[in-house]
Amino acid sequence: MTQHNPVSRETFDQVMVPNYAPAKVVPVKGEGSRVWDQEGREFIDFAGGIAVNCLGHCHPALVKALTEQGQKLWHLSNVMTNEPALRLGQKLVDATFADKVYFANSGAEANEAALKLARRYALDHYGEQKDQIIAFKQGFHGRTFFTVTVGGQAAYSDGFGPKPGAVDHIAYNDVAALEALISDNTCAVMMEPIQGEGGIIKADPAFLNKVRELCDKHNALLIFDEVQTGMGRTGELYAYMGTDVTPDILTTAKALGGGFPIAAMLTTDAIAKSLKIGTHGSTYGGNPLACAVGEAVMDVVNDRQVLDGVKHKHQLFVDGLNAINAKYPIFETVRGEGLLLGAVLNSDYQGKARDVMVAAVEQGLMCLVAGASVVRFTPSLVIPDSDIVEGLARFEKAVASVAQG
């Protein structure tokens, strides 16, 4: 019998490209909102794999869907379709503004498809001069070269040679800047309804309405990147549903598969016609395993009781974080919506979000950062209230250790 050498965090440094700097702990098992590492140490998970594990770890409905599909059919090329993809596509269309769905594997791929579709739609209907894409500073849309260029963080896009052209960035929530920049040569405006990586910053309702109005005026498509805000994260199935604005194209990933890689681009019949046969493609997009899991996620999350529960849990977090801050005043504010929350460090603790995150791990809690000065929380949408209370107690100890130096 072959004896496998045990792996450890040191193995990462030996065999992995040094693109990440993972924590010293190596998780090996999860159940609900609890995770255990190689040493058997338990953590409460307020990170959710960065808004991915929307039903926690090893949710029975997802395990069942994956196991059953795994015994039927794993993969087909897109020369053929499959039942799980058709069922999930139907459910996404039934639940949203969209008429058509395109499946991919990641948020970046869904955004890549959305941007290519917007450019091709503009070319088909208005001519090649209509190619400008407007996006927002501190936005994040993925790590392909096109999506990272549209994302408004130069640190992620610089250093790889010439960037795709006709992409312009303005400040988020700045109506005047948008009015000054948009024109009949604009093919699309791409935005997150809540900037995630940029610090959990919500779009002002008046700004959102103006974006929609200006897109309509100039025949530009409005693309909502709901990779992080989608699938119940804000207490609505998609964040746009809590606004007065409907996008022309929406991208969804992360929580769509509850931890299994899947993404989708949603749009209308009229716009979808520009992705003719052969225009775009994805080897694994619409994979039966991924779509079967995605369908199970939809069945659980797209439920009023679950979505209302997200809003209730939001308030538990806000009240708990404010109570911690009353004892150890290191935060300026707590912002966000649903279970996408950011605790913003005040001027005395600028740049120390990672210190708080590391201290939290020491106390048995997994959380995130959104930039250098925002601690981010994206837990399971069905995290038990008792786990929120216990997790916040652990977080308080972490905050105390940072506040007391």
Residue list for the binding site for pyridoxal 5'-phosphate? 107-108, 140, 225-228, 283
Do residues 85 and 282 make contact, with C-beta atoms less than 8 angstroms apart? no
Task: Quote the CA–CA distance of 26 and 29 in Å, as a whole number.
Answer: 10
Annotated binding site: 107-108, 140, 143, 225-228, 282-283
**391/45 Cα distance (integer angstroms):** 8
Alpha helices in 44-188 (DSSP H): 48-51, 60-70, 83-95, 107-126, 145-150, 154-157, 175-181
From 46, 140, 260, 331, active-site residue = 140
8-state DSSP, 1: -
Sign for the pseudo-dihedral over CA of 328, 331, 332, 338: negative
Residue 345: its H or E element: strand 340-345
Cβ 219 vs Cβ 189: under 8 Å: no
The active-site residue, picked from 45, 131, 225, 248, is 225
Catalytically annotated residue among 130, 202, 254, 313: 254
| Residues that constitute the known binding site for N(2)-acetyl-L-ornithine | 143, 282
Catalytic annotation on 225? Answer: yes
| Active site annotation includes 254 | yes
Q: Which residues pair with 356 in a beta bridge?
A: none
Separation CA 298–CA 296 (nearest Å): 5
CA nearest neighbour of 32 among 10, 53, 6, 50: 53
From the list 185, 301, 163, the residue with the least C-alpha distance to 236 is 301
Beta strands in 154-200 (DSSP E): 167-170, 186-191, 194-195
DSSP state of 4: P
Q: Which of the residues are catalytic?
A: 140, 225, 254
